[in-house]
Amino acid sequence: MMIKHNYIEKGEGEVLIMLHGNGLDSSYFYHQINYFSTKYRVIAVDSRGHGRTPRGDKPLTILQFSEDLRIFMDMHDIKKAHILGFSDGANVAIRFAIDYPERVDKLILNGANIKY
């Protein structure tokens, strides 16, 4: 089952996607969205099962969240983006960069805690 991700979008320019940590949602980045939207098209996405994005029937794994991000980018015609991840969002960003390096311009990580 395909899910529809809730997200906040603000600004224009190069795309900056923000990925929150476990148990949080896109509102975690409220102040950062306002700051960075003066120079970027900022998109803060609620991960599967977080905020207002439904859980769906897929597992809540880093691999699934990475695949969800690819699908989200495809659906919004985003070829490449700067990806900022906090905590589990950083883990997702790392996995996404490994799987789809051509889709990542810059990777900004805070608090990743995953082993590869």
Report domain extents, the chain. Answer: 7-110
So what CATH class is 7-110?
A: alpha beta
- Angstrom distances, CA of residue 11 to CA of 34, 73, 101: 9, 17, 24
Residues 70-91: pLDDT tens digits?
A: 999 999 999 999 999 999 999 9
**Distance separating alpha carbons of residues 97 and 102, to the nearest angstrom:** 8
User: Which pLDDT does position 116 carry in this prediction?
Assistant: 62
Residues 10-24 have a mean pLDDT of: 98
In 4-98 the beta strands, taken as DSSP E runs, fall at 7-10, 15-19, 41-45, 81-86
**Distance separating alpha carbons of residues 105 and 36, to the nearest angstrom:** 16
Residues 29-43 have a mean pLDDT of: 98
Please give the model's pTM, rounded to 2 decimal places. Answer: 0.96
